[in-house]
Structure 1
């Protein structure tokens, strides 16, 4: 049975099922949903139905990156195509492979995990130039935590530290090369019109951030 993509997505914020050969494909319309809505809607569908074929329609690049990365953590092979002004994300999972969020995030379950949440591009109040220098020094010193440094999360104005021209870009890339996961808030990047300028880390959403806080042994807020 053939299906029409245009007709399938007429109902906003809906979850439908279509026929693909002899199998059912789950179709989710997540357009217009604020972060982390598209990921949450996708997660709910996977938790409930565990489909081998899932398609999600979104309307912005941040949602595309977030949903695509989430699908990959669940064992899906992901492809994306443009549909007018929207984006259709398709996930195919062969052989029932499944990787949970916790197993994906918890790479070394017996090792202490420290998460650092950075919400600004400078430390303290008063002199902005001094604050920027302090932030640079702080990030460069994080490597002294060794293998316990697990994850860096950048929110709000701190996402500017991950873009082209950032004074700490090389420092963050070095940390990523050692295995530290760097997550950058997609809503924040979109707000500052910086999605295309990000040069390090994975675009993330609040579901990822909250899950990371739950899994971390210690959360340091800056």
Structure 2
């Protein structure tokens, strides 16, 4: 069994290091911090068909990852080489006045629910994650998009930065490795 210590590393380094180690094969013991690294590494491994056993250890957690890679779980954002990915990096639309930009973003997302052509995945980064957290005026619309099959996911490190991870109200938490893989394999990318 290989040992890997990724404590103290910022997103996406723990997931990238675990991916490389798992690509080499064999069971893996990973030492990692609580919070986003713990959540992201677990989700990454389980979505690829590995079993994850966890135990607290000094300075964080120890994961024992076993099994072999399988097809991603149905709920995992799976790079498909087709489909549309929407990257939303702000809570407003356009470069004009802030109030107008927020109104435009709200109207854009609410209107998107009514369109016949939807993106396959919507990734929220930077201040875009504020749209997926409690208090956002578009939670109902994002939930409706999710119910229509759109993967709605927010960057975990961004949620942590704005202290909104425990206030996520629409979609799931994701990591930069998943976002990057999805962007480079998408049929088309729309950046908002």
| TM-score of the two chains, using structure 1 as the length reference | 0.76
Aligned partners of 1:148 and 1:126: how far apart in 2?
26
Instruction: Tell me the number of residue pairs that the alignment of Structure 1 and Structure 2 aligns.
Output: 190
1:162 to 118, 132, 137: 132
Q: Structure 2 unaligned runs (5+)?
A: none
Instruction: Please tell me whether residue 139 in structure 1 is matched to residue 109 in structure 2.
Output: yes
Q: Describe how 1:91-170 pairs up with structure 2 within 5 A.
A: 91-93=65-67, 96=68, 98-99=70-71, 105-106=78-79, 112-144=82-114, 146=116, 148-170=118-140
Aligned partners of 2:118 and 2:139: how far apart in 1?
21
| TM-score of the two chains, using structure 2 as the length reference | 0.87
Aligned partners of 2:3 and 2:143: how far apart in 1?
36
Shift of 1:190: 1.4
Q: Describe how 1:172-191 pairs up with structure 2 within 5 A.
A: 172-191=142-161
Instruction: Please tell me whether residue 204 in structure 1 is matched to residue 174 in structure 2.
Output: yes
SS at 2:179 equivalent: helix
Instruction: Please tell me whether residue 27 in structure 1 is matched to residue 3 in structure 2.
Output: yes
Q: Describe how 1:71-86 pairs up with structure 2 within 5 A.
A: 71-86=45-60
CA offset digits 1:15-34 (Å, max 9, x no partner) = xxxxxxxxxx3332110112
Aligned counterpart, 1:90: 64
Aligned partners of 1:168 and 1:77: how far apart in 2?
36
Aligned partners of 2:149 and 2:53: how far apart in 1?
26
Q: Structure 1 unaligned runs (5+)?
A: 1-24
Larger deviation, residues 34-43 vs 182-191: 182-191
Shift of 1:82: 2.9
Aligned partners of 1:182 and 1:80: how far apart in 2?
27
Aligned partners of 1:186 and 1:28: how far apart in 2?
22
